A and B are shown apart, each in its own frame.
Chain A
Amino acid sequence: MSESKANHTFAFYLGCIAPNRYPGCESAAIKTCKKLGIDLVPLKGASCCPAPGAFGAIDLNVWYAMAARNLVLAEQMKMDIALLCNGCYKSIWEVNHKLKHNKDLRDGVNEVLKEIDMEYKGTCNVYHIAELLYNEKYVGVNKVRDSVVTPMTGARIAVHYGCHLTKPHKDREFEKSIMLNTEHPSWMEELVAAIGATPVEYRNKMQCCGAGGGVRGYDIVHSLDITNEKMINIMEAKADALTNICPFCQLQFDRGQIEIKEKFGISYDLPVLHFCELLGLAQGMSPQELGLDLHAISCEPFLQKVL
């Protein structure tokens, strides 16, 4: 929509976990994007995305209608949506995609939306911030590198991609054209390298964090078991920190480490940072500004190493 302008403006969809549990993610996204020529304008009146596992798995029609309402808010602002969470991406991007391509579904959703005087038209697009950062059309790796004032030199950082941004890959258009591969991608490693850190490969890197699909809510022990397996693999690679692009994954890895300690008696103490937070540090922002003090696992050892 605003592609022709030098600066891009997006309606910023916050989601639930970022503003409630990791406000640092929210402020990091807004501040880092600003430095890269992207204005994030709050999407006022937005509701829950709604969570794909909690809603989509139980009643698809509710899922469609609620996500469509969020989309209509952006349509009314005449803006595309940018968001910072894989779960939100699954709901809002995928519902948008489905409604655009399925007239019957669109008509059904519009019938519901009519009750609140809304109509879904299909005029807006949805992007993940990580996608905007990597895509040269908006930012690109080079521009990210140029924005760095405090390179994360010497930091060994493991990358967690999360599931919903790249899968199912048959639908994901950006993934096909730009990211190329869902089974063993490396574009986030490129971003990590751009801020001066060393991306580390680890065993089974595309494994789920353990939280998604309602598993965390339904069976916490099983969910932590998966997280624990990931943690073992990441620790084997001698990472200083883990970065992600999804606050729900962040919650699972960050708070999950406390839970693992309680339930299994194993402690890892590995700092977990959303990529926007990491980028904020590299762009010279203070840890307080980025809300890093609100993380369950202390980021201090990592900060001492890189700052």
Chain B
Amino acid sequence: MMVEKKKTTTKKTETKKQEAKKVAPVKQEVKKQAAAPAPAAQNAVAAPGATTQKDARIGVFICHCGTNIAGSMDIQAVQDYAKTIPHVAYVDNYKYMCSMPGQTLIQKAVKENNLTGVVVAACTPRLHEPTFRTATKDAGLNPFRFEMANIRDQNSWVHMHDREGSTEKAKDAVRIAVAKAALLQDLFPKSVPVEPAAMVVGAGVAGMQASLDLAAAGIKTYLIESDMSIGGRMSQLDKTFPTLDCSQCILTPKMVDVGRSEKIELMTWSEVENVEGYIGNFEVTIKKKARGVMTPKEAAAKGIVGGGCNGCGDCDAVCPVIKPNVFEVGMKPRKAIYINHPQVVPLIYTIDFNACVKCGLCVTACGPEKRAIDLNMQDEFIKVKVGTVILATGYDIFPIENKQEWGYKRYENVITSLEFERLICASGPTGGHLVRPSDGQTPMRVAFVLCAGSRDNTGIGKPYCSRFCCMYSLKHAHQIVEKIPGCVPYIFYMDIRSFGKMYEEFYYRIQNEGAKFIRGRVANILEDPKTKNLHVYADDTLLDRPVDMEVDLVVLAAAIEPKADTNRTRKLFGVSCSQDGWLLEAHPKLNPCGTTTAGVFLAGVCQGPKDIPDTVAQAEGAASAASIPIHMGEVELEPYFAQCIEEKCAGCGMCVNLCPYSALSLVEKNGRTVMQVTEAKCKGCGTCGGFCPGGAIWMQHFATPQIVAQIDAFLLGGEE
């Protein structure tokens, strides 16, 4: 299909061809049905009277949902009432309409009673609209001739103790649904071809795993990373819980695989600048930030044979500018030309142009053969086309200095867990020796403050649980006991949440290793100005007494929060966020990788706090979900598009500016300016339809006459 499409000359003929293909078989299906409008009328939607209300014969099916519905209302009364509603030709009820016998009931009734539309009064469209659409289709009707009345979630469940009231409300709901069903039209989903490539934003462990899976499935994948290397947060960690394997050791093989994969086009030091299009056809503009250093490939493209950065580090040695190393949480210096750590992928140096003084020493050091450094390099913009996108943008650390009672940034010996990770890591700034920042001494008493900014309802911290702090703090406790003989970890906790596989066992192990657990939130930390020791004040809620504990070092298990540029990401990809600011999945339980924007998927912590195993699992899920449309080759879109009634359209263009999905444009047609809808982009939100001053926009499946009929049915109580 795709190849065929590329050959077609103009877009217009292309669409027509495709429509003809899609519509043809359906046409035969609905042929028998007298009331159905000709498929041609569906395109010329300017004819809202295609189905006249007089012809409509509606079947109403009331579901008991076991006792969910039947327990709170009089089903028989609703059924008796439904029979009196205009256009209703058939009424029935069943214990579970969604069951096979329930669906068969619909099919049988449609055929025997020559129905033109189906109303099921049951749960929510979210849950069973697809089920009943299929049943309607199997009965020989167009699937969009189905309407659902929600008499469970918004009725029987909330009015559990008002049988009479809920029965009356159900009658209203059925009457309203019938009013719409009588005016429903045949609609035909559109198919669009899918670009056989994917993009993954963020190359932490989630993005890397998703890319590797997509590549393994044979899909060309663009992996975009804003930092100079891939690896993300996981590469900053020393060891992982509960297995205690070295984080870098298990991560670097994956990093190398990503770097090597022929299917993955890795773009580090790059950001997504703009996104246009829709599922199957995203056109993404990527900003390749000026790195100042050329890869061998880029050098070759410039005709420098055998040139480009080979990671030798000669430039680093001569650079005179010293800056704090962000990768080491500022605890180690780096130069203006730098790599984050020795295992970076790709092993290409990067110039921090905010710090660089352009002295040119590095250019000389790099030499005339490699000629890798270009101090005048400019940002580049690259456009790529992809079918699906996975967002794996990760998280930030909550600025724990906002919880001033703990004195982070005021007291030298109060550090965060990420700083602890770097200090205990053999490749970190102290070579793996945990020291007090104030005097470089080895601490012998270390307090760990859990839920630092998490589970905090004061309005300063975050109300949610950050989900991995308990476990890594247990791991930290183990590490200091192991590395520093005689050192005692004191863990101040609210609850220890060790819920994963082998996690609880790990908790017991740490208890046995001598860590002290104090159940109580830390109220205050004070520094002894002379010794720089810290007094940790808390309430021991198990012994019911206040604690004043003097320690050498305090480690705050700081909460995590959504990335600072989450809003930008949201706008770029049209993704929502939940109340807590994390990117919103399509369904918290049944669609945790999808989003409300078709073709955009989520992986890792950007969707909500999770540890490495959960992150990798979600990444694999997202990769699988993102590969489906690509392997299918085309995707079907729900036909809830806006349509322009060209005779009425004045071409004012107000709708064009209002459309949040950039789906509308103005075009010249027969000498007039009219609006045109790019159907694949339209989400059917109705913003344009509601606004159009001339009433020239027809919202398929939510057309004005249909909605007015519903309102009338409600207000007039069914009277004509």
Given A170-B458, A170-B459: A183 in contact with B404 (beta carbons within 8 A)? yes
0/1 interface trace, chain B 401-426, chain A, CB 8 Å (1 if under): 01111010010000000000000000
Give the docked Cα–Cα distance between A204 and B536 (Å): 12
Which residues A226-253 have CB closer than 8 A to chain B? 236
The reply on A184 being an interface residue by CB < 8 A is yes
0/1 interface trace, chain B 51-62, chain A, CB 8 Å (1 if under): 000000000000
Give the docked Cα–Cα distance between A173 and B526 (Å): 27
Give the docked Cα–Cα distance between A257 and B597 (Å): 68
Q: Which chain B residues border A206 with CB–CB below 8 Å?
A: 405
The reply on B561 being an interface residue by CB < 8 A is no
A183 contacts B405, C-beta separation under 8 Å: yes
Given A184-B404, A184-B410: A203 in contact with B458 (beta carbons within 8 A)? no
Q: Which chain B residues border A203 with CB–CB below 8 Å?
A: 526-527, 529
Given A170-B459, A184-B410: A236 in contact with B529 (beta carbons within 8 A)? yes
Q: Which chain B residues border A183 with CB–CB below 8 Å?
A: 403-405
Which residues A162-185 have CB closer than 8 A to chain B? 169-170, 176, 181, 183-184
* Nearest-CB residue, chain A, relative to B523: A183
Give the docked Cα–Cα distance between A231 and B60 (Å): 81
0/1 interface trace, chain B 74-115, chain A, CB 8 Å (1 if under): 000000000000000000000000000000000000000000
A204 contacts B526, C-beta separation under 8 Å: yes
Give the docked Cα–Cα distance between A176 and B402 (Å): 13
Q: Is the interface of A mostly helix, strand, loop or mixed?
A: loop
Give the docked Cα–Cα distance between A169 and B461 (Å): 13
0/1 interface trace, chain B 371-406, chain A, CB 8 Å (1 if under): 000000000000000000000000000000011110
Q: How far is the CB of B535 from chain A (nearest CB, A)?
A: 9
Given A183-B403, A183-B404, A184-B404: A176 in contact with B527 (beta carbons within 8 A)? no
Give the docked Cα–Cα distance between A206 and B407 (Å): 13
Q: How far is the CB of A303 from chain B (nearest CB, A)?
A: 29
Give the docked Cα–Cα distance between A170 and B527 (Å): 27
* Nearest-CB residue, chain B, relative to A201: B410
B458 contacts A169, C-beta separation under 8 Å: yes
Q: Which 3 A-B pairs have the closest CB atoms?
A: A184-B404, A183-B405, A183-B404
Q: How far is the CB of B529 from chain A (nearest CB, A)?
A: 7
Q: How far is the CB of A33 from chain B (nearest CB, A)?
A: 30
Measuring CB to CB, which residues of chain A are less than 8 angstroms from any residue of chain B?
169-170, 176, 181, 183-184, 203-204, 206, 236
Given A203-B529, A204-B526, A236-B529: A181 in contact with B458 (beta carbons within 8 A)? no
Give the docked Cα–Cα distance between A203 and B535 (Å): 11
Count of interface residues, chain B, beta-carbon cutoff 8 Å:
12
Q: How far is the CB of B491 from chain A (nearest CB, A)?
A: 22
A181 contacts B526, C-beta separation under 8 Å: no
Residue among B402, B404, B405, B527 with max Cβ neighbours from chain A (10 Å): B404
0/1 interface trace, chain B 492-527, chain A, CB 8 Å (1 if under): 000000000000000000000000000000001011
Q: Which chain B residues border A170 with CB–CB below 8 Å?
A: 458-459
Give the docked Cα–Cα distance between A261 and B459 (Å): 42
* Nearest-CB residue, chain B, relative to A236: B529
* Nearest-CB residue, chain B, relative to A181: B404
B458 contacts A184, C-beta separation under 8 Å: no
Give the docked Cα–Cα distance between A176 and B460 (Å): 10
Measuring CB to CB, which residues of chain B are less than 8 angstroms from any residue of chain A?
402-405, 407, 410, 458-459, 524, 526-527, 529
B526 contacts A184, C-beta separation under 8 Å: no
Give the docked Cα–Cα distance between A260 and B407 (Å): 31
Of B404, B407, B459, B526, which is within 8 A of A176 by CB?
B459
Give 18 A-B pairs besides A170-B458, A183-B404, A184-B410 with Cβ atoms closer than 8 angstroms.
Answer: A169-B458, A169-B459, A170-B459, A176-B459, A181-B402, A181-B404, A183-B403, A183-B405, A184-B404, A184-B405, A184-B407, A203-B526, A203-B527, A203-B529, A204-B524, A204-B526, A206-B405, A236-B529
Q: Which chain A residues border B403 with CB–CB below 8 Å?
A: 183
Q: How far is the CB of A203 from chain B (nearest CB, A)?
A: 6
Q: How far is the CB of B530 from chain A (nearest CB, A)?
A: 10
Q: Which chain A residues border B458 with CB–CB below 8 Å?
A: 169-170
Give the docked Cα–Cα distance between A90 and B526 (Å): 27
Give the docked Cα–Cα distance between A206 and B404 (Å): 11
* Nearest-CB residue, chain A, relative to B529: A203
- Show 21 residue pairs from A and B whose CB-CB distance is below 8 angstroms, ordered by the A residue: A169-B458, A169-B459, A170-B458, A170-B459, A176-B459, A181-B402, A181-B404, A183-B403, A183-B404, A183-B405, A184-B404, A184-B405, A184-B407, A184-B410, A203-B526, A203-B527, A203-B529, A204-B524, A204-B526, A206-B405, A236-B529
Q: Which chain A residues border B529 with CB–CB below 8 Å?
A: 203, 236
* Nearest-CB residue, chain A, relative to B402: A181
Give the docked Cα–Cα distance between A163 and B405 (Å): 15
Give the docked Cα–Cα distance between A170 and B460 (Å): 10
Q: How far is the CB of A196 from chain B (nearest CB, A)?
A: 25
Q: Which chain A residues border B407 with CB–CB below 8 Å?
A: 184
Give the docked Cα–Cα distance between A111 and B89 (Å): 62
Give the docked Cα–Cα distance between A169 and B457 (Å): 11
Q: How far is the CB of A93 from chain B (nearest CB, A)?
A: 19
Q: Which chain B residues border A181 with CB–CB below 8 Å?
A: 402, 404
Q: Which chain B residues border A204 with CB–CB below 8 Å?
A: 524, 526
Q: Which chain B residues border A184 with CB–CB below 8 Å?
A: 404-405, 407, 410
Give the docked Cα–Cα distance between A183 and B401 (Å): 11
* Nearest-CB residue, chain B, relative to A184: B404
Give the docked Cα–Cα distance between A204 and B405 (Å): 10
Give the docked Cα–Cα distance between A199 and B459 (Å): 28
Q: Which chain B residues border A169 with CB–CB below 8 Å?
A: 458-459
* Nearest-CB residue, chain A, relative to B527: A203
Give the docked Cα–Cα distance between A158 and B519 (Å): 35
Q: Which chain A residues border B410 with CB–CB below 8 Å?
A: 184
Give the docked Cα–Cα distance between A149 and B419 (Å): 48
Q: How far is the CB of B239 from chain A (nearest CB, A)?
A: 33
Give the docked Cα–Cα distance between A184 and B410 (Å): 10
Give the docked Cα–Cα distance between A184 and B524 (Å): 10
Q: How far is the CB of A161 from chain B (nearest CB, A)?
A: 13
Give the docked Cα–Cα distance between A181 and B458 (Å): 11
Q: How far is the CB of B449 from chain A (nearest CB, A)?
A: 14
Give the docked Cα–Cα distance between A181 and B460 (Å): 9
* Nearest-CB residue, chain B, relative to A203: B526
Give the docked Cα–Cα distance between A27 and B407 (Å): 38
Give the docked Cα–Cα distance between A181 and B526 (Å): 17
Give the docked Cα–Cα distance between A184 and B527 (Å): 14
Give the docked Cα–Cα distance between A275 and B402 (Å): 27
Give the docked Cα–Cα distance between A176 and B459 (Å): 9
Q: How far is the CB of A239 from chain B (nearest CB, A)?
A: 14
Q: Which chain A residues border B404 with CB–CB below 8 Å?
A: 181, 183-184
* Nearest-CB residue, chain A, relative to B406: A183
* Nearest-CB residue, chain B, relative to A168: B458
Q: How far is the CB of A122 from chain B (nearest CB, A)?
A: 25
Q: How far is the CB of B641 from chain A (nearest CB, A)?
A: 46
Q: How far is the CB of A217 from chain B (nearest CB, A)?
A: 23
Give the docked Cα–Cα distance between A245 and B507 (Å): 49
Give the docked Cα–Cα distance between A139 and B673 (Å): 59
Give the docked Cα–Cα distance between A262 and B529 (Å): 29
Q: Which chain A residues border B527 with CB–CB below 8 Å?
A: 203
* Nearest-CB residue, chain A, relative to B401: A184
Give the docked Cα–Cα distance between A183 and B524 (Å): 9
Give the docked Cα–Cα distance between A206 and B405 (Å): 9
Give the docked Cα–Cα distance between A206 and B410 (Å): 15
